[in-house]
Amino acid sequence: MDSSAAERHWVGWHRRYDLPGSSLSRRLALVQRRLREALDEQPAGEIRVLSMCAGQGRDILGVLPDHARRGDVRARLVELDPDLAADAERAALAAGLGGVEVVHGDASVTAVYEPVAPVHIALVCGVFGNIADADVRHTVEQLPRLCRPAATVIWTRHRRPPDLTPTIRSWFAGAGFAEKGFDGEDGFLMGVGTHRLVGQPLPYQRDVRLFDFVGDGEDAHR
């Protein structure tokens, strides 16, 4: 798939968020619920957030406008597709979210998160279903480099057989995270994990490549 075709694909892919009852719309609701909980739990002061492969930013931009902590959030949303990044930027501006920065760039390299790391909340949604299993594990193991103590990570992955989500949850445990919850719905293959860093963060390194994005996202529609 050439770059222009890939961009058109992902713009069309995001339209399914608007279909009531779709797997994406239900997954989004679960992610937003967990994000609200994570924001509610933060101590007073600035809340730093990153979002990998943020798309149109629907997860965080669907929560912040009416959240009591909106003024405390400093978020960096990273998206490679220029049209989706532009959509996210317009939505953030329309909502008056001056603390939300949308970056048109490569979410797979830690350097892009340097201005906001270490974060209180990391959104890794729509990533693990589109990269190789070895890259999923590598990304999980490197997340403590981007997190501060007690940071919350919210992630998604389809549960199509062979279901990798139990293994991913064990990788989080091995990387020093405690599970707060794993959410799904009967009849759908999507899963949403929420973990808190209980181990020690790792030193930030700006030159770590986390993954190669290779999927087409279709498993998220199941």
| Confidence (pLDDT) at 5 | 54
Query: What is the pLDDT, as a whole number, of residue 222?
Result: 62
For residue 67, the tally of other CB atoms under 10 A from its CB is 15
Task: Report which of 96, 91, 19 is spatially closest to residue 51, judged by C-alpha positions.
Answer: 91
pTM score, two decimals? 0.93
DSSP letter assigned to residue 21:
T
Q: Do the Cβ atoms of 165 and 137 come closer than 8 Å?
A: no
Domains of the chain by start residue, with CATH: 3-221 (3.40.50.150)
Q: How confident is the model at residue 21 (pLDDT cuts 50, 70, 90)?
A: confident
Question: CA–CA distance from 57 to each of 74, 131, 165, 182 (Å)?
Answer: 14, 20, 23, 21
For 159-172, the pLDDT digits (tens) are 999 999 999 999 99
Contact 34, 183 (CB under 8 A): yes
Q: What's the whole-number average pLDDT of the chain? A: 93
Q: Taking 60 as the threshold, does the pLDDT of residue 6 lie above it?
A: no
* Contact in structure between 204 and 211 (CB atoms under 8 Å): no
Q: What DSSP character marks residue 209?
A: B
Answer whether residue 3 shows pLDDT above 60.
no
Contact 89, 118 (CB under 8 A): no
Q: What is the pLDDT of residue 170?
A: 98
Question: What local confidence, expressed as pLDDT, does residue 1 receive?
Answer: 43
Least confident of 42-51, 103-112, 182-191, 210-219: 210-219
pLDDT of residue 4: 55
